[in-house]
């Protein structure tokens, strides 16, 4: 593997060195030096990062690659209508080709906006295509098939038998977990606490423990939905997960907008991560997760864009900006400083995936997952913090280069392992195919 030397950068290390003017040397996939005038092997590839801000790559803790091609189809709806009218039928309509196009599009857009690692939940079928997309384009990915072996209202389109879901899950673990030099990992992803049977949950938790897999699910997104679910189950989601033995440091719960005090205490005590998805929560009118409260109790909180069906861009820069400013609606300008938002997107994300000390920071010995942002409105050494600039001026910074495991996957703003124009065109074609398939299933008299 060719060595890479990044020179003349403003480096946000997220580690002991803080932010400094430095060079970063990458050898054999690892960061081997951070400092001034670092000497590099003669054959090292040099990236001139003059005027750039260099950071650890963003770790996204909640996304759905399978939904990238749904972008723009299901707009201005609450979660339940959004699911019933669009997401269940669209996911059912996905075949291997449209799944592949959707997943490749999602991975590409994330890499091009500085995300190097992500945790994604797919639908019940064709999960291999999502793994292959991440593997081919060079991203670091933890991906799970959605497990839905207990029929909830509206989900009968997608539900699987317990036996079929389990067989597919085990096959995916055997096929993909740890593949591509451990760049690709498998998550256990019951879609929601009540989407899987208690037996499936018990077996899934045991499987996760056996293989050290991330457990990934959705919790308390919409208030009416969580009240209804807790009434049906006789207990609230987080309490149910606790009873199932599903909370812990390897578990990531998306959303958590509506939590009782008891639930917050359980999350903090168990080391469970919450994936904060501010754009998705606001767009679907679900509310704002009280992240300052969670952090105050010591809960690990990561950042996620959620899928493009409720976010549209998958752009980490916009998510960082929103995550930092929305909590100030309370009247407190320090409710979520930029540095805390950036921690969520890097260090906390790495912790969520069990990769603390390996990912999420730039330091000697860490895996070289790095983003180089062109920042034309930033001038080093004039008093402005590079982290503040990245978070508050997000749309003005553009991605120049991205390394994953020391391999260049974006260079000069272009994908190295694919052509973005083709990927977008294929994604758009998949969207048209899927929209047509769903329209064909609508009965006469439906509004849409």
Buried residues in 274-294 as b, exposed as e (16+ CB within 10 A): bbbbbbbbebbebeebbbbeb
Min dist CB 269 to Zn ion, Å, is 25
Min dist CB 191 to Zn ion, Å, is 9
What residues between 84 and 143 interact with Zn ion by CB under 5 A? none
Min dist CB 183 to Zn ion, Å, is 23
Closest to Zn ion by CB, 263 or 306: 306
Strand pairing report for 19-27 and 251-255: unpaired
| CA distance to 206, 252, 297, per residue, from 211 (Å) | 9, 16, 29
3-state secondary structure (DSSP) of residue 120: strand
Closest to Zn ion by CB, 203 or 306: 306
| CA distance to 3, 15, 119, per residue, from 142 (Å) | 26, 24, 5
What residues between 177 and 196 interact with Zn ion by CB under 5 A? none
Min dist CB 275 to Zn ion, Å, is 8
Closest to Zn ion by CB, 284 or 380: 284
Min dist CB 299 to Zn ion, Å, is 19
Min dist CB 67 to Zn ion, Å, is 8
User: Cα-flanking dihedrals φ and ψ of residue 182, to 5°?
Assistant: 70, 15
Number of residues that bind Zn ion (CB under 5 A): 1
Min dist CB 76 to Zn ion, Å, is 18
Chain residue whose CB lies nearest Zn ion: 306
Following DSSP, what letter does each residue of 139-181 receive, concatenated? -EEEEEPEE--S--TTGGGT---HHHHHHHHHHHHHHHTTHHH
Closest to Zn ion by CB, 12 or 66: 66
The span from the CA of 436 to the CA of 44, in Å, is 50
Write the binding mask 295 to 314 for Zn ion: x where contact by CB under 5 A, - elsewhere. -----------x--------
Alpha-carbon dihedral sign for residues 216, 254, 448, 314: negative
Closest to Zn ion by CB, 14 or 71: 71
User: In 36-103, which ranges are E strands?
Assistant: 45-48, 52-56, 58-63
3-state secondary structure (DSSP) of residue 372: strand
Closest to Zn ion by CB, 54 or 186: 186
401's tokens:
């280069």
Closest to Zn ion by CB, 27 or 306: 306
Min dist CB 345 to Zn ion, Å, is 17
User: In 154-313, which ranges are E strands?
Assistant: 184-190, 214-219, 251-255, 273-276, 300-303
- 441 contacts 89 by C-beta, under 8 angstroms: yes
Closest to Zn ion by CB, 88 or 378: 88
**Contacts to Zn ion by CB under 5 A:** 306
């Amino acid at each position: 593997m060719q060595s890479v030397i990044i020179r003349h950068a403003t480096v946000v290390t997220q580690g002991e060195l803080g932010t400094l003017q430095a060079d970063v040397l990458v050898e054999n996939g690892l960061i081997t030096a951070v400092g001034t005038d670092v000497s590099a092997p003669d054959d090292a590839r040099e990236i001139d990062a003059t005027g750039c801000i260099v950071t650890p790559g963003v770790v996204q803790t909640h996304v759905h690659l399978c939904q990238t091609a749904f972008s723009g189809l299901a707009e201005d709806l609450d979660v339940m209508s959004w699911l019933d009218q669009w997401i269940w039928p669209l996911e059912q309509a996905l075949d291997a080709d449209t799944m592949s196009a959707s997943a490749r599009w999602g991975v590409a857009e994330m890499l091009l906006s500085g995300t190097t690692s992500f945790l994604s939940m797919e639908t019940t079928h064709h999960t291999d295509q999502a793994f292959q997309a991440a593997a081919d384009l060079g991203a670091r990915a933890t991906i799970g098939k959605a497990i839905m072996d207990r029929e909830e209202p509206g989900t009968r389109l997608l539900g699987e038998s317990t036996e079929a879901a389990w067989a597919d899950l085990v096959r995916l673990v055997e096929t993909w977990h740890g593949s591509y030099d451990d760049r690709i990992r498998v998550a256990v992803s019951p879609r929601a606490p009540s989407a899987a049977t208690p037996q499936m949950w018990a077996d899934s938790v045991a499987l996760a423990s056996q293989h050290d897999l991330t457990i990934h699910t959705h919790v308390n997104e919409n208030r009416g939905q969580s009240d209804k679910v807790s009434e049906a189950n006789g207990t609230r989601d987080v309490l149910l997960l606790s009873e199932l033995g599903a909370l812990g440091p390897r578990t990531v719960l998306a959303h958590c907008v509506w939590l009782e005090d008891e639930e917050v205490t359980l999350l903090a005590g168990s080391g469970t991560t919450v994936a904060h998805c501010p754009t998705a929560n606001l767009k679907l009118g679900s509310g704002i997760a009280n992240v300052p409260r969670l952090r105050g109790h010591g809960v690990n909180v990561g950042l996620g864009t959620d899928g493009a069906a409720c976010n549209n861009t998958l752009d980490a820069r916009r998510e960082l900006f929103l995550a930092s400013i929305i909590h100030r609606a309370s009247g407190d300008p320090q409710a979520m400083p930029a540095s805390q938002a950036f921690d969520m997107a890097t260090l906390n994300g790495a912790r969520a995936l069990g990769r603390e000390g390996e990912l999420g920071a730039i330091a000697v010995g860490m895996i070289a997952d790095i983003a180089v942002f062109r920042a034309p409105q930033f001038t080093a050494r004039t008093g402005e913090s590079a982290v503040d600039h990245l978070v508050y001026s997000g749309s003005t910074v553009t991605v120049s280069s991205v390394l994953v495991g020391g391999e260049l996957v974006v260079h000069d703003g272009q994908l190295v392992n694919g052509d973005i124009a083709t990927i977008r065109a294929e994604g758009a074609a998949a969207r048209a195919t899927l929209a047509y398939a769903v329209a064909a299933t609508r009965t006469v008299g439906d509004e849409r």
